[in-house]
Structure 1
């Protein structure tokens, strides 16, 4: 059986000004570099952006995302999820590009991906019942994707985690074909193995903007470059690795 290869990238935190620096890094250029590298990988079939596109909430930041897609020369479909920083209305209306897809269900070569909306009225996440009901239709190996993390990671971002994680994991755990849950939000490329609460592994995605320092009680950037996650699905098995780019910014606390 042929494989399905795709990328997850996340948390670009763009500004309306492309030259703006975020904790010492030019986040527009970081996004551009990540998109270009994904596009240069000849195995990649599509990519999924898992939220927190904007840092300053400006319409121009969303337009800059589209411009980065164009400028990077990437040529694969890009799906998206909203993060707590984002405006769903802006994403739906301003992410207009031939490669940007608004579908939230993807089926390809025996793999299903379900993109859940976890955006709430606060920075924390909440998956509404209508979204959870979508998990009842799992019929093949499925990767669930959303912005917020559904398991604590033991640093400050847990204050903005998924509020109804018990309900979420109940909906996931009763579906034996869910092979993983992938999130953004935590700005770290970590994997949490299946456990008592979660029958499926949780894959955290590093950010294209900055990587959080888990030892600091608040936002502090590690001296690391942008990164993304690469997935490969083959013979009903999902494998994944983190792809890191060089660090070109200044170290800023």
Structure 2
């Protein structure tokens, strides 16, 4: 099955989304990542998102830290136990096992990678490579190119890895063919916004006509502009997005939410 074969349809020309990423869960709900209880942070974010009248949640990858099957089950259980009622869509991070993520994709958690609204689309891209660094395969690049060539609707794109350097430690694990992906998106004439996770902080860059924006983690943040790996517990975070169809494009309003302890 091709990556974009499963899709979800929305019957309005505006979507209110939450982008949450890098939960780094453990099998143990009390597990800690750099002294942060990641399940607690994720639950707090889910509770806050439940009050935002969302159409959908995009989970941006790195669900697990210990790579256990139980951590995927915990992710599903935390969502089921929350007051969140909208569907949750996902894309894989470098820590994730795609088969395990598909295994928990039923009911509220959806395997769809293409969200089709009235007048625009949201595309979830697979940037998981053979190493912690990102890589979009040639097959997937061709899928993306073909999809964008065959739709007249503008698209907003999500992936896990940063496609541009952030001047920090994680640049050694960035999306290695990020500029190639961004050029494909730019040349399509359909994409003006790319959102990603992976870097555990808030960044914003411009690539030609594309705005490239990083969403901080729900778990722990990594100090910005540091070539040494430094962690900060700034509380759980996620990004609220309102995507609205305009005359010939989409308007994307973005707001960061910080749930400081």
Counting matched residue pairs gives: 242
3-state SS of paired residue (2:230): coil
Counterpart in 1 of 2:132?
123
Counterpart in 2 of 1:184?
197
Shift of 1:215: 4.6
1:230–1:240 CA contact under 8 A, matched in 2: yes
1:96–1:3: structure 2 CA closer, same or farther, 3 Å change rule?
closer
2:13–2:120 CA contact under 8 A, matched in 1: no
1:50–1:145 CA contact under 8 A, matched in 2: yes
Counterpart in 2 of 1:251?
none
Unaligned runs of 5+ in 2: 1-11
Q: TM-score, normalised by structure 1?
A: 0.91
Q: TM-score, normalised by structure 2?
A: 0.88
1:112–1:96: structure 2 CA closer, same or farther, 3 Å change rule?
closer
Q: Does 1:34 align with 2:24?
A: no
Counterpart in 1 of 2:72?
62
Q: Deviations over 1:25-46 (max 9, x none)?
A: 110010011111111112x100
d(CA) in 2 for partners of 1:157, 1:166: 17
d(CA) in 2 for partners of 1:7, 1:188: 16
3-state SS of paired residue (1:85): coil
d(CA) in 2 for partners of 1:246, 1:134: 40
1:189–1:205 CA contact under 8 A, matched in 2: yes
2:105–2:111 CA contact under 8 A, matched in 1: no
Unaligned runs of 5+ in 1: 248-253
Per residue, is there more strand in 1 or in 2? 2
Shift of 1:141: 1.7
- Which of these residues, 14, 17, 29, is aligned with residue 6 of structure 1? 17
Counterpart in 2 of 1:167?
180
